[in-house]
Amino acid sequence: MLIDDQRVLDAQSLVVQVFKSFREELLGVFGNAEHTRKDDNTPVTVHDVVVEEALRAALAESFPEFGYEGEETGASGSRDAYWLVDPIDGTSSFIRGLPFSTNMAALVNDGVVVASVIYDFVNDVVYTAVKGMGAYRDGTRIAVNESRQPGDLFVYSMTSPHFGRIQEALRALKMRTLLPIGASGSHYTMLADGKIDGIVNLLKGEGLHDNAPGVLLCEEAGAVMLPYDDLHGVYRSQFIIGAPNVIDSIERSGLL
């Protein structure tokens, strides 16, 4: 689907506006939000649904050409170009009052992520990216850190199964591997902002909404992806992404 660049930017701005409008409400229950359990035993709060439905309504009114797919309430409208939304990424952190929760959204066009928003509502920081236009934190361009050398490299693993093997392989490359608390949105912003150097995600079938916004942000910040499946675009689910020197070293080693 052919999309005008200005429409993408305008829609992205609306997403930011809606997310920011809920900050006071979310902080009011941060660390004390009531929740239930979904069929997959993951937690959900009424605030997940409220944010998701508010954004759906706002986009439908102003940008009816875009469809919508929310983690909690499903898909509607166009499947050629649609917003893929995780209303509260890191609901467990949100419930506990841990500072790793974000609001996330990605615009998917013909299977390719072309724009994204990650809003760190705890610290009131907005991360945005548009394909081919760079990655930004509150309007300031950001980039992965390409200056660190082996011995000073931190890699987050979002894959807990076989963590020991991942840790051992990367230790041989003089990379320190951590299994962090938190959620994917927080991890991806840290990579894009140069605070960590790589992310291991080898879980098959991981939710698209967990990865799509952050992967685009990191790639627009200069990160490189090493795929471990044959999927493309928004459907990529098994990969390592990081600063170019990190990915080059892992790929050449053949250890993972």
Q: What is the pLDDT of residues 99-109, one digit of tens each?
A: 999 999 999 99
Condensed to tens digits (0 to 9), the pLDDT of residues 185-227 reads 999 999 999 999 999 999 876 679 999 999 999 999 999 999 9
pLDDT above 70 (res 168) = yes
17 bridge partner residues: none
State the Cα–Cα distance between residues 89 and 98, nearest whole angstrom.
Answer: 12
Strand partners, 225: 241
Mean predicted confidence (pLDDT) in 165-178: 96
Cα separation, 15 vs 85, whole angstroms: 10
Q: Where in the sequence of the chain do the CATH 3.30.540.10 domains occur?
A: 5-141
> Directed axis angle between helix 46-62 and helix 5-21, to 10°?
150
Q: What pLDDT is attached to residue 41?
A: 83
- List the CATH code of the domain at 5-141: 3.30.540.10
pLDDT-derived band of residue 182, with 50, 70 and 90 as boundaries?
confident
Residue 175 has φ and ψ, to the nearest 5°, of -115, 135
Structure confidence at residue 181 (pLDDT): 87
Average pLDDT, the chain: 95
The mean pLDDT value for 118-136 works out to 98
Condensed to tens digits (0 to 9), the pLDDT of residues 8-42 reads 999 999 999 999 999 999 999 999 999 889 888 88
| For residues 169-182, average pLDDT | 94
- Give the residue, 137 or 42, on which the prediction is more confident: 137
153-253, which class in CATH? alpha beta
Are the beta carbons of 164 and 179 closer than 8 angstroms? no
C-alpha–C-alpha distance, residues 241 and 226, integer Å: 6
**Which residues in the chain are classed under CATH 3.40.190.80?**
153-253
* Cβ neighbours, 10 Å, residue 215: 28
Question: What ranges in the chain are assigned the alpha helix state H?
Answer: 5-21, 23-28, 46-62, 91-96, 163-171, 184-192, 208-220, 244-253
